[in-house]
Amino acid sequence: MPKVLVTGSSAGLGRMVAEELLRSGHHVVVHARDLERGRSALEELPPGAGLIIGDVSSIAGIRAVAERANDEGPYDAVVHNVGVGYREPRRVQTVDGLSQLWTINVLAPYLLTALIDRPSRLVYLSSGMHLGSGAALDDVQWANRPWSGPQAYSESKLHDVLLAFGVARRWPQTTSNVVSPGWVATRMGGSGAPDDLGQAHLTQVELAVGDSAIAAGTAGFYYHLAPGELHPAAHDEALQDRLLAYCADVSRVSLDA
Protein backbone atom coordinates (compact mmCIF):
# COMPACT_ATOMS: atom_id res chain seq x y z
CA MET A 1 0.00 0.00 0.00
CA PRO A 2 1.20 3.56 -0.66
CA LYS A 3 3.00 5.47 2.07
CA VAL A 4 1.83 9.06 2.53
CA LEU A 5 3.18 11.98 4.53
CA VAL A 6 0.53 14.51 5.56
CA THR A 7 1.93 17.77 6.91
CA GLY A 8 -0.06 19.73 9.42
CA SER A 9 -2.09 16.68 10.35
CA SER A 10 -2.51 16.87 14.11
CA ALA A 11 -5.94 18.52 13.69
CA GLY A 12 -8.49 19.74 11.16
CA LEU A 13 -8.40 18.69 7.52
CA GLY A 14 -4.95 17.19 7.79
CA ARG A 15 -6.05 14.78 10.49
CA MET A 16 -9.16 13.95 8.47
CA VAL A 17 -6.94 13.08 5.50
CA ALA A 18 -4.69 10.94 7.70
CA GLU A 19 -7.66 9.16 9.25
CA GLU A 20 -9.23 8.37 5.87
CA LEU A 21 -5.93 6.99 4.57
CA LEU A 22 -5.34 4.88 7.68
CA ARG A 23 -8.86 3.43 7.58
CA SER A 24 -8.21 2.43 3.97
CA GLY A 25 -5.10 0.52 5.00
CA HIS A 26 -2.45 2.97 3.80
CA HIS A 27 0.80 3.73 5.57
CA VAL A 28 0.65 7.28 6.95
CA VAL A 29 3.14 9.58 8.62
CA VAL A 30 1.53 12.37 10.60
CA HIS A 31 3.23 15.73 11.17
CA ALA A 32 2.59 17.92 14.21
CA ARG A 33 4.10 21.17 15.41
CA ASP A 34 4.95 19.79 18.87
CA LEU A 35 4.96 16.50 20.73
CA GLU A 36 1.80 17.20 22.72
CA ARG A 37 -0.22 17.79 19.55
CA GLY A 38 1.35 14.78 17.88
CA ARG A 39 0.58 12.39 20.73
CA SER A 40 -2.97 13.69 20.98
CA ALA A 41 -3.49 13.08 17.25
CA LEU A 42 -2.14 9.53 17.44
CA GLU A 43 -4.49 8.75 20.33
CA GLU A 44 -7.49 9.74 18.19
CA LEU A 45 -6.36 8.23 14.88
CA PRO A 46 -6.58 4.57 13.89
CA PRO A 47 -3.44 2.67 14.94
CA GLY A 48 -0.31 2.41 12.83
CA ALA A 49 0.56 6.00 11.95
CA GLY A 50 4.11 7.27 12.11
CA LEU A 51 4.85 10.68 13.59
CA ILE A 52 7.29 13.49 12.93
CA ILE A 53 7.49 16.66 15.01
CA GLY A 54 8.59 20.11 13.93
CA ASP A 55 7.62 23.78 13.72
CA VAL A 56 7.64 25.09 10.14
CA SER A 57 7.55 28.78 11.05
CA SER A 58 11.30 29.18 10.38
CA ILE A 59 13.70 28.03 7.68
CA ALA A 60 15.69 26.00 10.21
CA GLY A 61 12.50 24.38 11.48
CA ILE A 62 11.36 23.48 7.97
CA ARG A 63 14.76 21.93 7.22
CA ALA A 64 14.52 19.86 10.40
CA VAL A 65 11.07 18.60 9.43
CA ALA A 66 12.40 17.60 6.00
CA GLU A 67 15.25 15.65 7.62
CA ARG A 68 12.87 13.84 9.96
CA ALA A 69 10.49 13.15 7.09
CA ASN A 70 13.26 11.58 5.03
CA ASP A 71 14.20 9.39 7.99
CA GLU A 72 10.64 7.99 7.91
CA GLY A 73 10.39 7.81 4.09
CA PRO A 74 10.44 7.33 1.20
CA TYR A 75 6.86 8.27 0.32
CA ASP A 76 4.58 7.55 -2.56
CA ALA A 77 2.78 10.85 -1.90
CA VAL A 78 3.21 13.99 0.18
CA VAL A 79 0.15 16.05 1.08
CA HIS A 80 1.22 19.61 1.90
CA ASN A 81 -1.63 20.45 4.21
CA VAL A 82 0.16 22.62 6.80
CA GLY A 83 -1.07 26.20 6.97
CA VAL A 84 -2.44 29.05 9.04
CA GLY A 85 -5.57 31.10 8.45
CA TYR A 86 -6.53 34.65 7.61
CA ARG A 87 -7.44 36.04 11.02
CA GLU A 88 -3.92 37.29 11.78
CA PRO A 89 -4.41 40.83 13.20
CA ARG A 90 -0.89 42.00 12.35
CA ARG A 91 2.16 41.04 10.36
CA VAL A 92 4.16 38.64 12.54
CA GLN A 93 7.79 38.26 11.56
CA THR A 94 9.74 35.03 11.92
CA VAL A 95 13.33 34.77 13.12
CA ASP A 96 14.24 34.96 9.43
CA GLY A 97 12.54 38.35 9.07
CA LEU A 98 9.73 36.91 6.94
CA SER A 99 5.98 37.00 7.29
CA GLN A 100 4.98 34.06 9.48
CA LEU A 101 1.80 33.49 7.48
CA TRP A 102 3.72 33.33 4.20
CA THR A 103 6.48 31.18 5.69
CA ILE A 104 4.05 28.51 6.90
CA ASN A 105 1.67 28.64 3.95
CA VAL A 106 4.14 28.95 1.08
CA LEU A 107 7.80 28.63 2.02
CA ALA A 108 7.21 25.48 4.07
CA PRO A 109 5.62 23.53 1.18
CA TYR A 110 8.27 24.91 -1.19
CA LEU A 111 11.22 23.86 1.00
CA LEU A 112 9.68 20.52 1.95
CA THR A 113 9.10 19.84 -1.74
CA ALA A 114 12.72 20.64 -2.49
CA LEU A 115 14.24 18.74 0.45
CA ILE A 116 12.08 15.62 0.90
CA ASP A 117 13.03 12.71 -1.35
CA ARG A 118 10.84 13.09 -4.40
CA PRO A 119 7.55 11.12 -4.25
CA SER A 120 5.33 10.06 -7.13
CA ARG A 121 2.55 12.45 -6.11
CA LEU A 122 2.39 15.89 -4.56
CA VAL A 123 -0.78 17.51 -3.26
CA TYR A 124 -0.98 21.16 -2.18
CA LEU A 125 -3.72 22.97 -0.30
CA SER A 126 -5.12 26.23 -1.62
CA SER A 127 -8.44 27.99 -1.05
CA GLY A 128 -11.25 29.61 -2.97
CA MET A 129 -9.95 32.85 -1.46
CA HIS A 130 -7.04 32.74 -3.90
CA LEU A 131 -9.46 34.16 -6.48
CA GLY A 132 -9.57 37.46 -4.63
CA SER A 133 -5.89 38.28 -4.86
CA GLY A 134 -2.95 38.99 -7.09
CA ALA A 135 0.47 37.44 -6.62
CA ALA A 136 1.97 40.71 -5.27
CA LEU A 137 5.49 39.43 -5.84
CA ASP A 138 6.86 42.95 -5.50
CA ASP A 139 5.90 42.94 -1.79
CA VAL A 140 5.53 39.34 -0.69
CA GLN A 141 6.41 40.15 2.92
CA TRP A 142 4.02 43.11 3.28
CA ALA A 143 6.88 45.44 4.11
CA ASN A 144 5.39 48.34 2.13
CA ARG A 145 1.63 47.85 2.63
CA PRO A 146 -0.73 48.14 5.59
CA TRP A 147 -1.29 44.60 6.82
CA SER A 148 -4.46 42.75 5.88
CA GLY A 149 -4.74 39.19 7.17
CA PRO A 150 -7.40 38.09 4.65
CA GLN A 151 -5.48 39.57 1.73
CA ALA A 152 -2.17 38.08 2.86
CA TYR A 153 -3.85 34.69 3.21
CA SER A 154 -5.45 34.98 -0.23
CA GLU A 155 -2.10 35.82 -1.80
CA SER A 156 -0.44 32.88 -0.07
CA LYS A 157 -3.09 30.54 -1.46
CA LEU A 158 -2.49 31.84 -4.99
CA HIS A 159 1.22 31.29 -4.38
CA ASP A 160 0.46 27.67 -3.48
CA VAL A 161 -1.23 27.20 -6.86
CA LEU A 162 1.72 28.80 -8.66
CA LEU A 163 4.07 26.56 -6.68
CA ALA A 164 2.18 23.39 -7.56
CA PHE A 165 1.93 24.25 -11.25
CA GLY A 166 5.59 25.28 -11.37
CA VAL A 167 6.58 21.95 -9.84
CA ALA A 168 4.38 20.12 -12.36
CA ARG A 169 6.32 21.73 -15.22
CA ARG A 170 9.71 20.92 -13.72
CA TRP A 171 9.03 17.39 -12.47
CA PRO A 172 6.96 15.65 -15.16
CA GLN A 173 7.39 12.25 -13.50
CA THR A 174 5.64 13.51 -10.35
CA THR A 175 1.99 14.54 -10.38
CA SER A 176 1.50 17.91 -8.70
CA ASN A 177 -2.04 19.07 -8.00
CA VAL A 178 -3.90 21.57 -5.83
CA VAL A 179 -7.05 21.33 -3.72
CA SER A 180 -9.53 23.91 -2.53
CA PRO A 181 -11.34 22.16 0.34
CA GLY A 182 -14.06 24.77 0.57
CA TRP A 183 -15.00 26.97 3.49
CA VAL A 184 -15.63 24.32 6.11
CA ALA A 185 -16.13 24.27 9.86
CA THR A 186 -12.64 23.51 11.07
CA ARG A 187 -10.79 25.55 13.67
CA MET A 188 -9.43 27.67 10.81
CA GLY A 189 -12.75 27.99 8.97
CA GLY A 190 -14.90 28.73 12.01
CA SER A 191 -18.12 27.15 13.22
CA GLY A 192 -20.35 29.03 10.78
CA ALA A 193 -18.60 27.87 7.60
CA PRO A 194 -21.21 26.73 5.04
CA ASP A 195 -19.44 24.07 2.95
CA ASP A 196 -19.69 20.30 3.47
CA LEU A 197 -17.02 19.22 5.95
CA GLY A 198 -17.53 15.59 4.97
CA GLN A 199 -16.31 16.38 1.44
CA ALA A 200 -13.44 18.68 2.38
CA HIS A 201 -10.68 16.07 2.73
CA LEU A 202 -11.71 13.54 0.09
CA THR A 203 -10.02 15.26 -2.86
CA GLN A 204 -6.69 15.30 -1.05
CA VAL A 205 -7.05 11.58 -0.38
CA GLU A 206 -7.97 10.81 -4.00
CA LEU A 207 -5.06 12.78 -5.40
CA ALA A 208 -2.66 11.08 -2.99
CA VAL A 209 -3.65 7.43 -3.50
CA GLY A 210 -6.54 7.18 -5.96
CA ASP A 211 -6.66 5.79 -9.48
CA SER A 212 -9.17 8.19 -11.04
CA ALA A 213 -8.49 10.49 -13.97
CA ILE A 214 -7.84 13.46 -11.69
CA ALA A 215 -5.33 11.47 -9.65
CA ALA A 216 -3.48 10.44 -12.80
CA GLY A 217 -3.18 14.00 -14.10
CA THR A 218 -0.97 16.89 -13.08
CA ALA A 219 -1.30 20.67 -12.77
CA GLY A 220 -4.94 20.36 -11.78
CA PHE A 221 -6.97 22.47 -9.37
CA TYR A 222 -9.86 20.65 -7.70
CA TYR A 223 -12.79 21.31 -5.42
CA HIS A 224 -14.83 18.36 -4.12
CA LEU A 225 -13.34 15.92 -6.68
CA ALA A 226 -14.11 18.18 -9.65
CA PRO A 227 -12.24 21.00 -11.39
CA GLY A 228 -12.49 24.19 -9.35
CA GLU A 229 -12.64 27.83 -10.32
CA LEU A 230 -9.07 28.94 -10.92
CA HIS A 231 -7.37 32.33 -10.88
CA PRO A 232 -6.50 33.42 -14.45
CA ALA A 233 -2.86 34.02 -13.44
CA ALA A 234 -2.36 30.45 -12.22
CA HIS A 235 -1.00 29.15 -15.53
CA ASP A 236 1.28 32.15 -16.09
CA GLU A 237 4.64 30.39 -16.36
CA ALA A 238 6.62 33.59 -15.90
CA LEU A 239 4.75 34.24 -12.64
CA GLN A 240 5.38 30.68 -11.49
CA ASP A 241 9.07 31.09 -12.23
CA ARG A 242 9.23 34.40 -10.36
CA LEU A 243 7.69 32.86 -7.25
CA LEU A 244 9.97 29.84 -7.35
CA ALA A 245 13.02 32.05 -7.85
CA TYR A 246 11.94 34.20 -4.91
CA CYS A 247 11.51 31.15 -2.68
CA ALA A 248 14.93 29.86 -3.76
CA ASP A 249 16.53 33.21 -3.02
CA VAL A 250 14.93 33.48 0.42
CA SER A 251 15.70 29.91 1.45
CA ARG A 252 18.97 29.39 -0.45
CA VAL A 253 17.53 26.13 -1.73
CA SER A 254 16.72 25.63 -5.40
CA LEU A 255 13.91 23.39 -6.52
CA ASP A 256 15.98 22.43 -9.55
CA ALA A 257 19.08 21.34 -7.63
Return the closest-CA partner of residue 93 out of 57, 56, 41. 57
In terms of residues, how long is the chain?
Answer: 257
Q: Please measure the distance between the N-terminal and C-terminal CA atoms of the chain and give it in whole angstroms.
A: 30
Catalytic residues: 153, 157
Burial class of residue 88 in the structure, from the number of CB atoms within 10 Å of its CB (0-12 exposed, 13-18 middle, 19+ buried): middle
Return the closest-CA partner of residue 20 out of 177, 183, 208. 208
In sequence order, which ranges of the chain are alpha helices (DSSP H)?
12-23, 35-44, 59-72, 100-102, 108-115, 149-170, 197-200, 202-209, 213-216, 237-251
**At 51, is the secondary structure helix, strand, or coil?**
strand
**Separation between Cα atoms, residue 46 and residue 9, nearest integer Å:** 13
What phi, psi does 50 have (nearest 5°)? -85, 170
